[in-house]
Amino acid sequence: MRMEELDALASELFPEVVRIRRKLHENPEPGFEEWETSRMVQQILKAHGYIIKTGKEAVGSFTGVLASLYCGPGPVIAMRFDMDALPVSECEKESHIPVKEGFCSRREGWMHACGHDGHTAIGIGTGILLSRMRGKLSGTIQLLFQPAEEGCRGAKAMADSGILDNTDYFLAAHIYSREILKGEEADFLPAVEGSLATTKLNAVFHGRTAHGSMPQEGDNVNLSLASALLNLQAIPRNSRGATFINVGTINGGTGRNVIADQGKLELEVRGETSELNQYMEEYALRILKACAMMHNTRVEIETTGSAPSIHSDLQLAERIRKLFGTPESPVIPSRKTGISFPASEDVAHLMKRVQEHGGQAVFMLLATETRAALHQPDFDFNEEILKKGMLVFSETTTALLSKTRPD
């Protein structure tokens, strides 16, 4: 009965949630600058009875939002939705649906190419839906809207702010290509177990400039940059599992006949487990420092983002799977058959914090037809998944906070 009621409510809300998603898609905002997105989330949820907290003091970031709805004594359930866009220029072909239907990005060079417009719309829709179910629930709903997921920058500070420390259940999800389920009929997966832990680093080298014909008078950072690039990419593999490194940008010097005194590398390391990532990070830091020392330059290293590996609680995943009846297995097969989620997600910081305080957490995949891979200029998804997303979050919440729940 509850399921049918929610299904009817989600169908009724669906056109509005599509409108919200399209509005967000038109206005993709960079990480930590999601001002208008954050304002929209706050306005709508406040109008539906939620108590809003925002800002660095309250939730650990200026644009982050925590929207809470108290529905009586009982468990606390928290849900995470990310809001940021990517520095990608959106495809302009007529066959791209946002172009055809008039809602493509209006911000030059930026695009919602990772589906976070969909995630935020699902979060708002779920909030509205659950506010209508309030009388039938007992417990507290906390909707968390996170900035700067890309580059794994936004979650750590929100976790450290302590807003999740009394959470009993934590849910998060990502829109994903259906192909990942490899023939499964299901359009969602209750848990990801394992993901790539990662650390993002900037290394700024400082040297001493001189005339190109008097190199002995200078300390050339380009030598440090080049040595670092080759040695970083040559870090030995690790027999315990997959490791990755990428030096994504290299910039140094000002002119052909000038000894370079400023340079920068932007790089990332990843590992199949948090331990493997740590192996890569420590090795990379040694190389950066050694390459500065060998050419008498100085290096400043900054960590710009990080994420541990994701671990979902299988007990909670199994409860969610039973609600929906599919698929057969609640998790993507993990290490034995390869990396289960071949990417990084800083939701892992939030999950870890909840788990360290005795709560259970899952990271789910909402599987649908996508056009192009994530982060591509022609990425788009079937908007039907917005309804499925609302149902996954709201049905799980109503089951866990139901006044008639068995436990």
| Candidate segments 111-119, 123-131, 271-279, 381-389, binder of Zn ion by CB under 5 A | 111-119
114 vs 247, beta carbon nearer Zn ion: 114
Q: How far is the CB of 150 from Zn ion (least distance, A)?
A: 5
Nearest to 159 by CA among 174, 173, 170, 151: 170
Residue 315, token pair as written in the block:
């007990």
Per-residue contact track with Zn ion, 238 to 277, x per CB under 5 A? ----------------------------------------
Interaction mask 70-109, Zn ion, x per CB under 5 A: ----------------------------------------
Shortest separation between residue 307's beta carbon and Zn ion, angstroms: 12
- Residue 225 or 307: which CB sits closer to Zn ion? 307
Cα separation, 269 vs 199, in Å, equals 6
**Choice between 52 and 181, CB closer to Zn ion:** 181
Token pair 């660095």 in the structure block, residue: 56
DSSP string, 32-79: T--HHHHHHHHHHHHHTT-EEEEEHHHHSEEEEEEEEEE-SSS-EEEE
CB of 82 to Zn ion, least distance (A): 6
- Region near Zn ion per CB under 5 A, out of 57-65, 112-120, 193-201, 278-286: 112-120
- Residue 216 burial class via C-beta count within 10 angstroms: exposed 0-12, middle 13-18, buried 19 and up: exposed
- Comparing CB distances to Zn ion, the nearer of 6 and 114 is 114
Alpha helix (H) residue ranges in 139-245: 155-160, 221-233
Residue 10 or 114: the one with the smaller Cβ distance to Zn ion is 114
122 is an interface residue for Zn ion by CB under 5 A: no
How far apart CA 346 and CA 99 sit, in angstroms, is 31
Closest CA relative to residue 59, chosen from 146, 169, 121, 170? 146
Nearest residue to Zn ion by CB is 114
Q: Return the number of the residue (114 or 159) whose C-beta is nearest Zn ion.
A: 114
Q: Does 121 bind Zn ion (CB under 5 A)?
A: no
Residue 117 structure tokens: 């417009």
CA-to-CA distance for 370 and 366, rounded, in angstroms?
11
Stretch that binds Zn ion, among 55-63, 114-122, 273-281, 351-359 (CB under 5 A): 114-122
DSSP 178: G
Query: By CB under 5 A, is residue 114 in contact with Zn ion?
Result: yes
Residue written as token pair 């900035």: 147
Within a 10 A sphere around the Cβ of 256, how many other Cβ atoms?
6
The reply to whether 128 sits near Zn ion by the rule CB under 5 A is no
Footprint of Zn ion (CB under 5 A):
114
